């Protein structure tokens, strides 16, 4: 599996994506439509129109990962923006989205600072 460092950003493609796309297709979407470098080490997230399937594209330094998830019930609560745009989210938000939590209903507590864990 892959690990995400503190400098890793998560970019969400807000429009619908054809889930038949593989490595080259998603690589092209990141490069051409999101205007990002697919080999940057950041995470790129795509979903179909119904928001029941998603794919993640990630470069780990030696190759591209494409991970997919299909929901049997329900839908992912996807961020809204104009088609062809991307939204940046934190890694905690990615975890919440993948676990079915509606990000529009969650909020950060007042006075809470997001700092890395230090032992």
Tell me, yes or no, whether 116 lies in a domain: no
For residues 88 and 21, give the distance between their C-alpha atoms in angstroms, rounded to a whole number: 22
pLDDT by residue (tens digit) across 1-51?
567 778 889 999 988 999 999 999 999 999 998 999 999 999 999 999 999
Tell me, yes or no, whether 103 lies in a domain: no
Tell me, yes or no, whether 67 lies in a domain: yes
**pTM reported for the whole predicted model:** 0.82
**Residue 11, phi then psi, degrees to nearest 5:** -110, 130
Tell me, yes or no, whether 4 lies in a domain: no
- For 39-100, the three-class secondary structure string (H helix, E strand, C coil) is CCCCEEEEECCCCCEEEEEEECCCCEEEEEEECCCCCCCCCCCCCCCEEEECHHHHHHHHCC
The number of distinct structural domains making up the chain is 1
Domain that holds residue 47: 10-98
């Amino acid at each position: 599996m892959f690990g995400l460092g503190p400098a890793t950003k998560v970019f969400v493609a807000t429009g619908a994506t054809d889930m038949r796309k593989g490595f080259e297709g998603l690589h092209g979407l990141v490069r051409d439509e999101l205007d990002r470098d697919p080999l940057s080490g950041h995470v790129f997230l795509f979903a179909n129109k119904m928001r029941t399937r998603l794919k993640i594209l990630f470069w780990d330094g030696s190759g591209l990962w494409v991970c997919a998830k299909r929901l049997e019930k329900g839908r992912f609560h996807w961020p809204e923006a104009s088609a062809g745009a991307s939204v940046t989210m934190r890694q905690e938000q990615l975890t919440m989205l993948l676990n079915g939590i509606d990000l529009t209903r969650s909020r950060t507590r007042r006075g809470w600072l997001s700092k890395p864990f230090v032992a």
